[in-house]
């Protein structure tokens, strides 16, 4: 016990002095570069990324892969999607592409697509901190959320897509987003890119994300991914889960900063929308924690964008056989659709078949 307590003190001291970083494979360069600018919430960027986080729920893979879906318009118009990842085995979906207007690679992950959001939310109460985050002493996370990104088709497909985009466009910023469980995956993806792939300029913006790890993990997170924003909406229940136990700060789940809490103030008949930029603790008692998290409907719309599938359905997919040639299917039936960026623009809406694009 004494030894363990000593180790915790040591870790905290390490975090406070921000000294050498010997436990983490981080470049000094990166560390210094990011210390002098505090993460700033950019409302415009959030309104753009929320549309990506909404679009990834679309189940018609042809519409997504040609970026012609109903939610693929508006602020995301012109997005060059390069990879669409469909992990059928674990019911996960994500995409990677290049948004030239943002000068960035955008990566988005879908939230849960179960029959009942209610059941999924109820399960969140019981999630254990049951995995040590590799390379970070005493940082604990939830194994299930971690694995959804790390131990599925998702991670290798994301990494390969980033590499190809960089080969084509050179250095780009990386913006990772997702809603609900997709936000949890986005968070794990963001820190993975920084820690294991030396990515610079990684920005994470999640919407209605559950907690994913303990306080020590949150400290590492804010140090390594300072440009992380968790947008929470009014009484949305999911950011309150798995629970935070005020009296056991070291044993409980703990959000990483920085929360931005959206809520309404009513003054007479007028309703004002407020965006509150919360403190750097990750658990600002005056943000979403100041209200009861008891709403599922507040979970399903963020900044005006619908954050769910068109229907609640099982993990079936809809696709047009004409995108088959872009797909690679593994033995479990998981599919990754991949485009070469040098290929001519796809015109799948026309009757004319597409030529070979294996350039």
**Alpha carbon distance 226, 257 (integer Å):** 8
Partners of 109 in the β-ladder: 94, 178
Interface positions, 264-323, toward ligand NAG (CB under 6 A): 285-286
The full DSSP string for 55-103 is HTT--BHHHHHTT-STTSSGGGTT-EEEEEEEETTTTEEEEEEEEGGGT
Smallest separation (angstroms) from ligand NAG to the CB of 152: 8
Q: Is 121 in the site for ligand NAG (CB under 6 A)?
A: no
**Are β-strands 270-277 and 259-267 bridged in parallel, bridged antiparallel, or unpaired?**
antiparallel
Is there binding between residue 151 and ligand NAG (CB under 6 A)?
Answer: yes
Binding window for ligand NAG (CB under 6 A); candidates: 3-11, 41-49, 54-62, 308-316: 41-49
Our finding on whether 147 is near ligand NAG (CB under 6 A) is: yes
Q: Give me the residues paired with residue 96 across strands.
A: 83, 107
Comparison of 102 and 241: residue with beta carbon closer to ligand NAG: 102
Do 165 and 98 meet the contact criterion of CB atoms below 8 Å apart? yes
Pick 151 or 280: Cβ nearer ligand NAG:
151
| Gyration radius of the chain's alpha carbons | 20
Q: Find the shortest distance in angstroms from Cβ 261 to ligand NAG.
A: 12
Whether residue 210 contacts residue 126, with contact meaning beta carbons closer than 8 Å, is answered with no
349 scored as a contact of ligand NAG (CB under 6 A):
no
Only one of the segments 27-35, 37-45, 71-79, 302-310 lies at the binding site for ligand NAG (rule: CB under 6 A); that segment is 37-45
| Rounded CA separation 268/259 (Å) | 28
Task: Give min distance, CB of 8 to ligand NAG, in A.
Answer: 24
102 binds ligand NAG (CB under 6 A): yes
Q: Which is nearer to ligand NAG, 249 or 285 (CB)?
A: 285
From 39-47, 67-75, 189-197, 336-344, span contacting ligand NAG (CB under 6 A): 39-47
Work out which of 30, 41, 42, 123 binds ligand NAG, going by CB under 6 A: 42
Q: How far is the CB of 285 from ligand NAG (least distance, A)?
A: 5
Closest approach of Cβ 281 to ligand NAG, in Å? 8
Across the chain, where does the E strand assignment appear? 80-87, 92-99, 104-109, 131-132, 140-141, 173-179, 202-207, 228-233, 259-267, 270-277, 301-302, 305-306, 327-329, 335-338
**Binding residues for ligand NAG, total number by CB under 6 A:** 8
Q: Under the criterion CB under 6 A, does residue 116 sit at the interface with ligand NAG? A: no
Restricted to residues 43-72, the positions that interact with ligand NAG (CB under 6 A) are 44-45
Q: How far apart are CA 205 and CA 36, in angstroms?
A: 20
CA distance to 118, 146, 267, 270, per residue, from 95 (Å):
26, 18, 41, 39
- The residue ranges that bind ligand NAG (CB under 6 A) are 42, 44-45, 102, 147, 151, 285-286
């Amino acid at each position: 016990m004494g030894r363990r307590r000593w180790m915790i003190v040591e870790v905290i001291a390490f975090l406070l002095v921000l000294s050498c970083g010997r436990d983490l494979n981080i470049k000094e360069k990166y560390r210094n570069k990011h210390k002098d600018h505090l993460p700033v919430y950019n409302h415009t960027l959030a309104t753009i990324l929320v549309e990506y986080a909404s679009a990834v729920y679309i189940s018609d893979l042809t519409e997504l892969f040609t970026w012609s879906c109903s939610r693929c318009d508006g602020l995301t118009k012109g997005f060059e999607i390069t990879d669409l990842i469909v992990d059928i085995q674990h019911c996960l979906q994500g995409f990677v592409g290049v948004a030239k207007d943002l000068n960035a690679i955008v990566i988005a992950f879908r939230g849960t697509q179960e029959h009942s959001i209610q059941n999924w939310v109820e399960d969140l109460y019981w999630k254990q901190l049951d995995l040590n985050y590799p390379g970070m002493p005493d940082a604990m996370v939830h194994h299930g959320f971690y694995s959804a990104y790390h131990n599925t088709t998702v991670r290798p497909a994301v990494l390969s897509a980033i590499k190809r985009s960089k080969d084509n466009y050179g250095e780009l910023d990386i913006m990772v987003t997702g809603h609900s469980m997709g936000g949890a995956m986005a968070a794990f993806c963001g820190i993975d890119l920084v820690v294991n792939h030396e990515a610079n300029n990684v920005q994470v913006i999640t919407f209605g994300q559950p907690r994913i790890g303990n306080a020590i993990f949150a400290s590492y997170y804010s140090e390594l991914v300072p440009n992380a924003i968790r947008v929470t909406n009014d009484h949305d229940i999911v950011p309150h889960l798995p629970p935070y136990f005020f009296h056991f700060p070291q044993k409980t789940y703990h959000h990483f900063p920085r929360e931005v809490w959206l809520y309404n103030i009513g003054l007479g008949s007028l309703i004002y929308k407020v965006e509150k930029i919360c403190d750097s603790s990750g658990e600002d008692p005056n943000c979403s924690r100041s209200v009861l998290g008891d709403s599922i409907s507040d979970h399903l719309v963020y900044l005006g964008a619908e954050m769910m599938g068109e229907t609640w359905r099982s993990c079936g997919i809809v696709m047009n056989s004409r995108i088959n040639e872009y797909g690679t299917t593994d033995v479990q039936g998981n599919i990754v659709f991949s485009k070469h960026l040098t290929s001519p623009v796809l015109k799948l809406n026309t009757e004319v078949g597409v030529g070979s694009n294996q350039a």
